[in-house]
Structure 1
């Protein structure tokens, strides 16, 4: 095999490798879209605010395998690098995060290879999110592949903090002054308190709404059975008389 043929073969293998991860994301996004539509049309509440996905660029993959000392082999990269494809799901409340996780595991039967709960156990800098590494089956023309996708599930407040923290670190080229690190941690704690407060308010409103619905049903029942005498329509009463005479 000459160099041109070797190059063409490598290009085909790399292209297939990258497409495999994009197809896995497409598969997951379709499942999430089904969930969103079901919540929208069949339920009063949709826990999914929005989603965002990405496949790492070849440059980013090369930098990561260089840092981790991973051999330049597609098989080794697939085995050792689990976040080439990533999906972020943003929810309204903390409880929604675990509800979405359970749906992905149970309804969609995704195989969870790894779970890291940075909500119960935040990172030292204040980062909070639920991370899952799942295996997504992808059918290609030449066979079936099981592809790893990292899923991050977080609230709006967690996402807001993480996005700004990332921008600050990028601006300072990873060298953030100690005072700012402390303030970032305090900001994360404030965001978490807001999450907990909003979740409590949401539960209280749900109880009030349920109580009001029960009261309305009880009022209607009393009005129908207690304050009015139920009478058959005239035609039905006449029909009843005819049957009795027979």
Structure 2
């Protein structure tokens, strides 16, 4: 009788163990995203406070569903084990950062690596080398240390950094071809690329305008500072009586 009970309970224990392993596996990727999003939020607040400028428009994150992971495992012929999945599937966790200008993309990349010490394992620069359909974005595969109760895990996260224009094009391209499994006709592919090129020209134009306005603002600030300095150095200059009284009252 004991033997029969053991045989019945064995699959249940195995199932519980598998469930725990899978749950822990999925939690690691969510924790890695939480860690990254906290770092990005710090960057945003620091930029806004110190520079009165925020290069990050918004972020979006996701962890693949278990069903999506299993489908990819089957499609790629990967052995169904936790270690093999971690080794061969690198986009289980994804973070998309949308920036204002192209230069912001590389600035954020450098900060993620230098200031937060993230290890970048792979870089795919689709801005310098767009895909044939015109897709542009900077893809990074980074390792994020996640501190679990039984040790530290280095979790791989795919980060995509792109401008608003790049994101606009990519989002609409995805909607247009969602669940379309056939090859894209060459005429439509050419139109897609032309639309992406138009978005790229807009990116470059807006960045140029931003740069030129920044120079004008800096020159104006320097002129104002110079004017104040000249005024204070003038021997005949006197502060208004109201300001002198205010200064005395605060002593």
**TM-score, normalised via structure 2 length:** 0.89
Could you tell me whether the CA contact under 8 Å between 1:83 and 1:150 is conserved in 2?
yes
Secondary structure of 1:2 counterpart: helix
- Mapping 1:137-152, distance limit 5 Å: 137-152=145-160
Query: What's the offset of the Cα at 1:227?
Result: 6.8
**Whole-Å separation in 1 of the counterparts to 2:130 and 2:236:** 60
- Mapping 1:213-232, distance limit 5 Å: 213-226=221-234, 228-229=236-237
Deviations 1:25-64 (A, max 9, x none): 0000000011111112221210000000000001111111
Deviations 1:118-158 (A, max 9, x none): 00000111000000000000011111100000000000000
Query: What's the offset of the Cα at 1:222?
Result: 1.7
The match for 2:95 among 71, 74, 87 is: 87
Partner of 1:240: none
Structure 1 unaligned residues grouped into runs of 5+: 234-246
Could you tell me whether the CA contact under 8 Å between 2:231 and 2:237 is conserved in 1?
no
Which one is further off, 136-145 or 216-225?
216-225
**Whole-Å separation in 2 of the counterparts to 1:195 and 1:2:** 61
The match for 1:36 among 38, 44, 47 is: 44
Partner of 2:249: none
Partner of 1:180: 188
Secondary structure of 1:138 counterpart: strand
Q: Does 1:16 align with 2:24?
A: yes
Q: Does 1:115 align with 2:109?
A: no
Secondary structure of 2:131 counterpart: coil
**Whole-Å separation in 1 of the counterparts to 2:98 and 2:86:** 27
The match for 2:77 among 44, 69, 73 is: 69
The count of corresponding residues between Structure 1 and Structure 2 is 232
Q: Name the Cα RMSD after superposition.
A: 1.6
The match for 1:103 among 97, 111, 114 is: 111
**Whole-Å separation in 2 of the counterparts to 1:33 and 1:198:** 25
Q: Does 1:51 align with 2:59?
A: yes
Could you tell me whether the CA contact under 8 Å between 1:169 and 1:175 is conserved in 2?
no
Partner of 2:142: 134
**TM-score, normalised via structure 1 length:** 0.90
| Residues 1:9 and 1:208: Cα distance change in structure 2 (over 3 Å) | same
**Whole-Å separation in 1 of the counterparts to 2:182 and 2:168:** 19
Partner of 1:236: none
- Mapping 1:200-211, distance limit 5 Å: 200-211=208-219
**Whole-Å separation in 1 of the counterparts to 2:219 and 2:118:** 37
